[in-house]
Amino acid sequence: MEIALLVVSILLIAIVLLQSSKASDASQIISGGNDALFQNQKERGVELFITRLTIVLGVAFFVISFILFIG
């Protein structure tokens, strides 16, 4: 089970790094320069797949961690 947790962890790190940044610059987040940051934007294609895969891997990480903690 530890191996499954390790694999899910590595995949989760990789998929988070593949996600596109919604802010063009970190300083614009602090200064409020990016007005479109919280706009409702639809994801399509690969972005939607990556977002859903991130959710699935996150839930899998939580479940496996919880099982290892109890057992």
The predicted pLDDT at position 20 comes to 72
What pLDDT does 47 receive? Answer: 87
For the chain, what are the domain ranges?
Answer: 2-70
Q: Determine the pLDDT at residue 27.
A: 57
pLDDT at residue 30 in the model: 63
Q: Residue 21, exposed/middle/buried by CB under 10 A (0-12, 13-18, 19+)?
A: exposed
pLDDT in tens, 16-67: 998 876 555 555 556 655 555 556 667 788 888 999 999 999 999 999 999 9
What's the confidence (pLDDT) of residue 44? 82
